[in-house]
Amino acid sequence: MKKLICAVFASLMFVAAGYPQEPIADVEHEDTEATPQQRQQWFYGQRAYPFKVTPAGAHRRAFGEATQMRIDEEAVRANAPAGGKTNTLNPWTMIGPKPSNQGGYGVTSGRITAVAVDQTTSGASTVLYIGGAEGGIWKSSDNGSTWTAQSDSQPTLAIGSIAIDPNNHSIIYAGTGEENFSGDSYYGGGVLKSTNGGSTWTMLGASYFGGPIGSGSYYGGSFIGAIAVQPGVSSGTPIVLAGSEFSSNASSGVWRSTDGGTTWARVFPTTAQLYSHVTSVVWVSKTKAYAAVSNVFGASSVPVGVYVSSDSGATWGPANGVSGQALPDGTTTAGRFTLAVSPSTPATMYVSVSDYNTSGLYGMYFTTDSGGHWNPLKSPLNAVGTTNDFCGPQCWYDMPLAVHPTHPGTLYAGGNFNYGAGNGGVYVSLNATNGATATWSTPNPGTNSVTMHPDFHAFAFSADGNTLYIGEDGGLWRGTPTNSATMAWTDLNTNLAITEFYPGLAIYKGSKNTALNGTQDNGAQLYTGSLQWTVVTCGDGAWAAIDPTTANNLYAGCTSANFEGVIRSLDGGGSWASLGTGINNFENVAFIPPMIMDPKSSTTLYYGTDHLYKMVNSSQPSPFPTWSYVNASALTSGYLSTIAVSAVNGAYFFVGDSTGAAQFSINSGASWTAFTGLPGRFVSMVQADPHTATIAYVTVSGFSGFNGDTKGHVFKCLTTTSACTDMSGNLPNTPANDIVIDPDLANTFYVATDVGVFTSTNNGTTWSTSGTGLPNVAVVGLKLHESSRTLRAATHGRSTWDLSVPTSTVTPAAMTSPANGATMTGASATFNWSAGTGATQYSLYIGNTSGAHDIAFVSTTSLSATVNTLPTNGEKFFVSLYSYIGGKWYYNAYSYYASGTGAAATMSTPTPGTKLSSASQTFTWTKGTGINSYSLYIGTKAGLHDIDFLNTSNTSASFSNLPTNGGTFYVTLYSLNGKTWLSHPYTYVASGSGTAATMSTPTPGSTLPGASVTFNWTTGSGVTSYSLYIGTTAGAHNLDFINTTSTSASVTNLPTNGSTVYVTLYSLIGGVWHSNAYTYKAQ
């Protein structure tokens, strides 16, 4: 069951010192799902809260921060004084699922959103590429028998589409961001491209698709659900078309690249047509392409339907039929459109349409004349207009179509499983061009009794057309023969590791080889020490718990959509029974409800809705135990997101919720007190201190830096003061999802975030990267198996990974003053530190970059050092404190800010105010004084970055997407001086020549309706301002005169004597006024 994302409005202002200020905005739309639980934006709602959007480019920035941390750490390790270094990192190890055993569905893996087949390969050597929802790109060179991950190091692993260049099979494009509109469809950051058959990949188009676009980008980046490469190009660079969703943003639509994906232009629909999500893009020849425009959210502005381009994607027009034989238009409740074109007979096309009101099937249609006429097509279950057809109540989520390569009348349709009939999910019609009399059959289960997992997303055929590959929520399947009512199926999930886990990982105390956790649409899965895990219960699993005294007692939560609460097994997972009695299913509840086991009583469980529930005797075989309220009153107006109970004193309870609040009780829940000091963002996890009952640790989601919120993501909270203090240190500005307090190593913590796992050994003062080799994926769950010292990370898309952590720590010296991050008072400062355990010598490096000592270097046996050569230009500088212990060097790293103020960089080339010669330009600037990094904003108005933006530590940057309309554009060069952004604004004139605005209404030459008239005109091209002259003679303005940046103006003093009125419309293009003159007759 999926949750439909619905777009909403928010207007935020970025105020953190991390980046220059920028506005974030989006457009509101009414929810379309009927069930509140299904419209809960659990996965992304928590990342946006308390707003409904996350900042444009936020994930991209956080990834950059995490990457820079790794670079800095390696620099400090590499530059350690002679004598060796021991601060190397252990590698993460994959423990699966790789894949999963799901019983009736066989071997499964995770959600696959894209499939591409190399048409130059065949048989056992067929080369396949697949994309996981957040599992990245995978390649197989043996027809799916084995797989290799291709993109683990890329900024995003969320894949929405894949296309192989038909002119060169070594070139592959992958659109990032999953365009399936569900609550856990992660946003992307651009287009990944490989030119060597997938060996290496480069992210392109990040400034177009990674956010920001215009004034804001929903969920921080785009979702590219369709990508296609121009065929028939024997020389030169083929055109690439991409269909994207920016959700509520006007930048959704068809995007076009003429240079291999480096630069992109949005070519359809117009920017005024919001929510125009393009879900299909298909080339049928070198010059002709089709696209399907969807209206998933039911907005009034969307021109739904099928559109055609006959000039290689430059311009588009409707191919929606004629009256009486047409596709549904924007006046209907038509939602998502899926388009399939016959490869052998391109004039034959098929469309399936969802209903945005019911989420069921609106209808199916076919054409045999390239869209000139469309006729109804009988659907697989003949239940059009209901939620009972092949795509059920979630046609907006899974509704793929495919036409057989050589049989234009053979159509495949995929949806979700028809549980009532006991089969289905995939259907085939061998006579689809019969339309209303077409017949359908389901080849699932197969003739070999293999049943595929439900929820289908992607189809692809082999080169000879005899094999069909299907990507769905359970992984990848291969079916033969095609063009047949029946098929035999083979799962291709053997070594795919793309499972999407949810929070709530549980590990058996007695062995790290027993674990349980919930997943997206692949149930609660049991780990028993092998890479292949077993799906044991639920459809979507949730939080889990294992009795520490016996691995036979397992508890698995299901999503709230299942209305089952918690499922129990008393025989190690062999059989399961529901423990749902007593829970009010109509209370506010998270899609993934929290459930924990009391650390002092393994037979006591807690479960959260907006109330806190308790179950005692949970392992009692009979009678079945039931749930009861801990407190009869709701604890939140939202829902509980996390629960913890102290292992020191069982009367200490802690909860966090979706409204950003955390509370505690010191009397077993009889009364509650709210913690203060939290930022008000979604509370993702609360964990009780293992040694002190009065301390808890809280992690929060979302992003800092808006409306005065400058707090981090990790907090230490005391019941004695009811206060929380920020211990986020230098963590990247990204959602924190879980925290582990090391019970054996003092002051040591591990935090799971959307950009990896981080470790602090000094109470959160500083954080560093945990291990090496973990893919760049959101880590949603984290647990430490204490006896084996194994840190386990559950990811949302790349399965589960283990890291061996130290059993003891070497304690190097730690800086005691000045405090990390402090601002100096002058060029002199005394640095003081604690004694490292067993340390015989210390080295203090002070430099302009991590690990450097170009400012100062001190070698001493003392616990302090005075430095008199510190900068006084306000810059950020770096300090590495090394301790020589046992023949090895250990370190702690810090950063500080110099006193004084630096000087901002200034633009060198091109000369400000000049006219550029092309769309490509390299900007260079001076270094400035005391500057650590730069941001370049390029926009159509001062301070905007709707054309492009860049964060860099270099003093130059190249762009290839500058306007060529002859208009004025604006460049702001920001310089980061310590904690403060300094800026210089500049203007340039674009190359080319613009087009002056023209009058729209009233029609030129017409008679005016009276003394009051509103004049409307086109925007023109490259125009930054307009002037309207109205007079009794040509060029005069004795009647009125208006300067404006709008495309309309109202005038109230026009004559009514029948005379001629002269109107001149001026357009300012690149500093030059251009005009168009008109005449009207007064009333």
List every span in the chain annotated with CATH 2.60.40.10. Answer: 907-989
Query: Which DSSP symbol is given to 573?
Result: T
Which of the pair, 217 or 534, is modelled with greater confidence? 534
Number of residues written out for the chain = 1083
User: Could you write out the three-class secondary structure of 136-205?
Assistant: EEEEECCCCCCCEECCCCCCCCCEEEEEECCCCCCCEEEEECCCCCECCCCCCCCEEEECCCCCCCEEEC
Tokens of 1048: 């309309």
Convert 2-24 to b/e letters by CB count within 10 Å (16 or more is b): bbbbbbbebebebbbebbbebeb
Architecture of domain 109-122+137-491: 7 Propeller (2.130)
Residue 656 has φ and ψ, to the nearest 5°, of -130, 160
Which three-class secondary structure state does DSSP give residue 982? strand
Question: Which of 276-280, 297-301, 371-375, 1013-1017 bottoms out in mean pLDDT, i.e. has the lowest?
Answer: 297-301
Which of the pair, 152 or 58, is modelled with greater confidence? 152
Q: How many helices (H) and strands (E) does the chain have?
A: 3, 82
Per-residue confidence (pLDDT) for residue 19, from 0 to 100: 37
Picking from 1009, 1007, 980, the residue whose alpha carbon sits closest to that of residue 897 is: 980
On the question of pLDDT at 932 being above 90, the answer is no
- Across 1-5, 210-214, 673-677, 820-824, the highest mean pLDDT is recorded for 673-677
Confidence of residue 548 (pLDDT cuts 50, 70, 90): very high
Residues 6+ positions from 586 with CB-CB distance below 8 Å: none
Confidence of residue 273 (pLDDT cuts 50, 70, 90): confident
Per-residue confidence (pLDDT) for residue 149, from 0 to 100: 97
* Domain 812-892 of CATH type 2.115.10: no
Per-residue confidence (pLDDT) for residue 250, from 0 to 100: 61
On the question of pLDDT at 44 being above 90, the answer is no
Convert 469-479 to b/e letters by CB count within 10 Å (16 or more is b): bbbbbbbbbbb
| 599-630 per-position pLDDT tens digit | 999 999 999 999 999 999 999 998 889 999 99
User: What is the CATH code of the structural domain delimited by 907-989?
Assistant: 2.60.40.10
Decide if 975 contacts 981 (C-beta within 8 A): yes
Per-residue confidence (pLDDT) for residue 160, from 0 to 100: 95
Which of the pair, 799 or 25, is modelled with greater confidence? 799
On the question of pLDDT at 705 being above 90, the answer is no
Per-residue confidence (pLDDT) for residue 552, from 0 to 100: 97
Residues 6+ positions from 638 with CB-CB distance below 8 Å: 588, 610, 657, 658, 659
Which of the pair, 221 or 978, is modelled with greater confidence? 978
Per-residue confidence (pLDDT) for residue 41, from 0 to 100: 62
Mean pLDDT over the full length of the chain: 90
Strand locations in 721-771, DSSP E?
A: 723-726, 736-741, 749-753, 756-760, 768-769
Question: Which of 166-170, 474-478, 811-815, 1019-1023 bottoms out in mean pLDDT, i.e. has the lowest?
Answer: 1019-1023
Decide if 155 contacts 139 (C-beta within 8 A): no
Is residue 208 within a helix (H) or strand (E), and if so which, with residue range?
helix 206-209
User: Could you write out the three-class secondary structure of 52-108?
Assistant: CCCCCCHHHHHHHHHHHHHHHHHHHHHCCCCCCECCCCCECEEEECCCEECHHHCEE
pTM of the model: 0.84
Query: Which DSSP symbol is given to 375?
Result: E
Compute how many other C-beta atoms are within 10 angstroms of the C-beta atom of residue 89: 17
- Across 18-27, 382-391, 508-517, 933-942, the highest mean pLDDT is recorded for 508-517
Query: Which DSSP symbol is given to 541?
Result: E
Compute how many other C-beta atoms are within 10 angstroms of the C-beta atom of residue 803: 24
On the question of pLDDT at 25 being above 60, the answer is no
- Across 54-58, 532-536, 702-706, the highest mean pLDDT is recorded for 532-536
| 143-194 per-position pLDDT tens digit | 999 999 999 999 889 999 999 999 999 999 999 988 877 766 777 889 999 9
Per-residue confidence (pLDDT) for residue 33, from 0 to 100: 32
Give Cα separations from 236 to 231, 232, 259 (angstroms): 12, 11, 9
Query: Could you give the CA distance from residue 134 to residue 152 in angstroms, rounded to a whole number?
Result: 10
Which of the pair, 631 or 215, is modelled with greater confidence? 631
Average pLDDT, stretch 540-564? 89
On the question of pLDDT at 643 being above 70, the answer is yes
Residue type, 869: T
Place of tokens 């760049």: 776
β-partners of residue 545 are 555
Per-residue confidence (pLDDT) for residue 418, from 0 to 100: 66
On the question of pLDDT at 561 being above 90, the answer is no
Per-residue confidence (pLDDT) for residue 80, from 0 to 100: 84
Per-residue confidence (pLDDT) for residue 925, from 0 to 100: 98
On the question of pLDDT at 596 being above 90, the answer is yes
On the question of pLDDT at 37 being above 70, the answer is no
Average pLDDT, stretch 238-256? 83
Query: Could you give the CA distance from residue 214 to residue 193 in angstroms, rounded to a whole number?
Result: 25
Which of the pair, 564 or 114, is modelled with greater confidence? 114
Average pLDDT, stretch 99-118? 92
On the question of pLDDT at 32 being above 60, the answer is no
Average pLDDT, stretch 52-58? 66
Convert 662-698 to b/e letters by CB count within 10 Å (16 or more is b): bbbbbeebeebeebebbbebbbbbbbbbbeebbbbbb
* Domain 999-1081 of CATH type 2.30.30: no
Residue 634 has φ and ψ, to the nearest 5°, of -65, 145
Give the torsion sign (CA, 493, 496, 502, 507). positive
The CATH fold of domain 506-804: Methylamine Dehydrogenase; Chain H (2.130.10)
Per-residue confidence (pLDDT) for residue 185, from 0 to 100: 72
Query: Could you give the CA distance from residue 1083 to residue 1080 in angstroms, rounded to a whole number?
Result: 9
Question: Kindly report the CA angle at 67 between 112 and 48, in degrees rounded to 5?
Answer: 60
Residue type, 962: L
